Amino acid sequence: MKNIFILIAVFLILLSCTSKVDRSKLETIISKDIQNSMPKYHTYTPISYSDMDSAMSDVAETPEYQKIYKDIITVDSALIADSIAYVENLSYLNKPLHVKYKGDESLLKEREQIQSQLKALKEKYKPHYIGTLIYHKYKCSTDFGDSTYVGRYIIDDGYNIIEKETYPFLENDNA
């Protein structure tokens, strides 16, 4: 019985050490990426890292979704152009502008059909694990002063950055 507890304890210690090594490696990769993307005369100061989380795939990133979404944007653009032309014609004809635009029925039906395709695609999509998500807050010092940023990184199991975004960090004065 004691041997089982010892084995479990050793396993848990090894597991926690492995995750610390992984976290340390992720932090190093992120820091190097930021430093390599900054001009040489800027300075980088790390502030904090978030907890690591699993990053899951998103239906909006699939080729099928992108194609259908492009179709809906095309229809929406046509509807907007038609409604603007409708209002301009009312103005030109000195008609009241409060007359409601009903839109081209065929475009509205097409838009409804495309939306149902998007909905069906979302319903059947099964997200899958793509890597580790971690946020990094850091300060960048430049000739014009300091700026604070938050980097959002997704890193796969091979330690490759597969997605990254950087946002300016704005302090919340109400907090």
Per-residue pLDDT tens digits for 42-95: 999 999 999 999 999 999 999 999 999 999 888 888 877 766 665 566 555 565
pLDDT value, residue 19: 46
Q: How high is the mean pLDDT of the chain?
A: 82
Q: Which two tokens mark 139?
A: 């300060």
Task: Give the whole-angstrom CA distance, residue 65 versus residue 73.
Answer: 12
98 pLDDT above the threshold of 70: no
121 pLDDT above the threshold of 90: yes
Looking at per-residue confidence, does 133 or 82 come out higher?
A: 133
Q: Which two tokens mark 123?
A: 């319903």
152 pLDDT above the threshold of 70: yes
Task: Give the whole-angstrom CA distance, residue 95 versus residue 140.
Answer: 57
159 pLDDT above the threshold of 50: yes
Task: Give the whole-angstrom CA distance, residue 161 versus residue 24.
Answer: 15
Task: Give the whole-angstrom CA distance, residue 7 versus residue 16.
Answer: 14
Closest CA relative to residue 79, chosen from 107, 117, 118: 107
Task: Give the whole-angstrom CA distance, residue 170 versus residue 137.
Answer: 11
Task: Report the percent of the chain where pLDDT is more than 90.
Answer: 53
Split at pLDDT 50, 70, 90, the class of 15 is: very low
Split at pLDDT 50, 70, 90, the class of 118 is: very high
pLDDT value, residue 174: 54
The model's pTM: 0.66
Residue indicated by tokens 């199991």: 157
pLDDT value, residue 6: 56
Amino acid at 50: S
pLDDT value, residue 18: 42
